[in-house]
Amino acid sequence: MAGPAWARSFTDDLGRTVEVPDRPLRIVSLSDTDITIPLLELGVMPVASHGRVGVNGAGAPYLRSGALLTGVDFDTAPIRFIGATEVDLEAVANERPDLIIAEKGRLAALETLQDLAPTVVLDAAGLGASHVYSRLADLTGQQVRLQTLETRYQAALQALKDTVHPERYTVSVIQPLNGKISVYHTYRALGRVLRDAGFRFPPLIDAIPVGGRMEIGAERLPEIDADVIFDPYRADRGEGPRADIADMEALVPNFCAFLQACRQGRYVMVSREEAISNSYSALFLMVSMVQAQMAERPRVTLK
């Protein structure tokens, strides 16, 4: 489909060299959080995207965090839903794409996809969101837009640094998980803001390989204590932070008393839907959230 007059070579994250159109017009995205949301932020509307269907929801497909962070979802924009865990290849073909973008973790039938349209694979989990953004900007010719987003993020980050002095504080992001505690080297957008700003982490978390995750026993709770602790609670059930706090309490009764952060009221519940995204909107949200949480506060002073 791609005529040689307007095609160029692109080397994707699997090291494959693919002939891609100079200005792709009909992009199909195979991963909502890792590809579709970034594309939307770069001002590019894919014609179709992978999405999700909740088991307990009304059954309507949605882009994870789509409406929340970009205002775009299947019911508000002309994006076709092409399947959840496994993508419907015929639906992809019906969109007559001129470029298919896949994420390494959701890789399926690469050979067949390549027969339908030029297909590039990006490694979001391994190489990080900023890498994916720059590759996507390159593919779609939206470098200027990306530059704007990045400048805004850096400015926000600088403001955070000026307000808080990150190097003075330790932080950690934890999540209760069935009798264990789940910790990440970098917890998506939230983790990226914390690392980019220059906060310090407990040694246990720094020891996790970059991009990795680990489950630890609840006995190690003091080892992940910090000046501020963030707990991304599960928001898709309508139970809110209460369920997560109850899980922590079931894990260690009185857990709050054993964490310096919690005793000082700095155990912060963050919506997982916002914290888990890789988008710039999430980064902006996280920067202001961190700034608001950690900025100096007035106290009662006894005369």
Partner 1 sequence: MSGYRVVHCGPLMLRLHKRRAMLCLFLALVLLMAAVLALGAGGTTGWSAPWAGGQGKVLWDLRLPRLLLALVCGAMLGLAGATLQSLTRNGLADPGLLGVREGASLAILVLLFFLPTAAPELRPLVGLVGGVSVVAVTVLLARGGIERMRFILIGIGVSWFLSGLIALMLVAADVTMMQTAMVWLAGSLSGAAWSSVRMAALCLLIGGVLLFGTARAGDVADLGDHLGRSLGVSMTRLAVVRVAAAVLLTAGCVSFCGRLGFVGLIAPHLARLSVGGGQGALLSASALWGAVLVMVADTVGRVAFAPIQIPAGIVLAVIGVPVLLGLLWCRRDRF
Partner 2 sequence: MRGLLAVAALLLLLGAAVAFHQATGPRPIGWSGLWQAVWAFDPMNFDHQTVMALRLPRLLAAFLAGAALGMAGVLLQSLLRNPLGEPHILGLNAGASLAVVVCLAFPLGVFSAPLLRPVVAATGGGLAFLLVLLLSSAGRLGLTMTKVTFCGIAVSALASTLTSGVLLLDEETLATVRLWLLGDAAAGTWTTVRAAAPLLLLALLAGWALAARLNVLALGDALATSLGVSLLKTRLLGLVVVAVLCGGAVSMVGPVGFIGLMVPAMARRLSSLDHRALLPRAAVLGGIMLIVADAVARWLLAPRELATGVMTALVGAPVFVLIVARRMKE
Contact of residue 112 among partner 1, partner 2, none (CB under 5-8 Å per partner type): partner 1
Which among 291, 68, 39 is positioned nearest to 159, based on CA atoms?
291
Comparison of 131 and 145: residue with beta carbon closer to partner 1: 131
Q: What whole-number distance in Å separates Cα of residue 189 and Cα of residue 209?
A: 17
Q: Of 165, 168, 213, 263, which one interacts with partner 1 (CB under 8 A)? A: 213
State the Rg of the chain over Cα.
21
| Contact region with partner 1 (CB under 8 A), list: 85-93, 224-232, 255-263, 290-298 | 85-93
Where in 228-257 is the site for partner 1 (CB under 8 A)? none
Which among 267, 265, 227 is positioned nearest to 248, based on CA atoms?
267
For residue 257, how many C-alpha atoms fall within 13 Å in the half-sphere facing its CB? 4
Q: What whole-number distance in Å separates Cα of residue 36 and Cα of residue 264?
A: 39
Q: What 3-state DSSP class applies to 268? A: strand
Contact of residue 82 among partner 1, partner 2, none (CB under 5-8 Å per partner type): partner 1
Minimum distance between the CB of residue 48 and partner 1, rounded to whole angstroms?
Answer: 9
Contact of residue 2 among partner 1, partner 2, none (CB under 5-8 Å per partner type): none
Contact of residue 251 among partner 1, partner 2, none (CB under 5-8 Å per partner type): partner 2
Which among 37, 7, 14, 32 is positioned nearest to 99, based on CA atoms?
7
Comparison of 74 and 267: residue with beta carbon closer to partner 1: 74
Number of helices followed by number of strands (H, E) in the chain? 13, 12
Which among 271, 274, 268, 272 is positioned nearest to 291, based on CA atoms?
268
Q: What whole-number distance in Å separates Cα of residue 110 and Cα of residue 115?
A: 9
Binding status of residue 88 toward partner 1 by CB under 8 A: yes
| Contact region with partner 1 (CB under 8 A), list: 76-84, 144-152, 165-173, 245-253 | 76-84
Residues that bind partner 2 (CB under 8 A): 52-56, 84-85, 177-180, 204, 207, 214-223, 234, 236, 250-254, 257-258
Q: What whole-number distance in Å separates Cα of residue 166 and Cα of residue 102?
A: 36
| Contact region with partner 1 (CB under 8 A), list: 91-99, 142-150, 202-210, 236-244 | 91-99
Q: Is the separation of the CB atoms in 52 and 106 below 8 Å?
A: no
First to last CA, the chain: 78
Contact of residue 110 among partner 1, partner 2, none (CB under 5-8 Å per partner type): partner 1
Binding status of residue 94 toward partner 1 by CB under 8 A: yes
Binding status of residue 127 toward partner 1 by CB under 8 A: no
Binding status of residue 112 toward partner 1 by CB under 8 A: yes
Comparison of 65 and 170: residue with beta carbon closer to partner 1: 65
Binding status of residue 106 toward partner 1 by CB under 8 A: yes
Q: What whole-number distance in Å separates Cα of residue 82 and Cα of residue 77?
A: 14
Binding status of residue 187 toward partner 1 by CB under 8 A: no
Comparison of 137 and 205: residue with beta carbon closer to partner 2: 205
DSSP string, 112-130: HHHHHS-EEEE-HHHH-HH
State the amino acid at position 71 in one-letter form. G
Binding status of residue 73 toward partner 1 by CB under 8 A: no
Sites of contact with partner 1 (CB under 8 A): 14-16, 53, 61, 81-91, 93-94, 103-112, 115-116, 125, 213
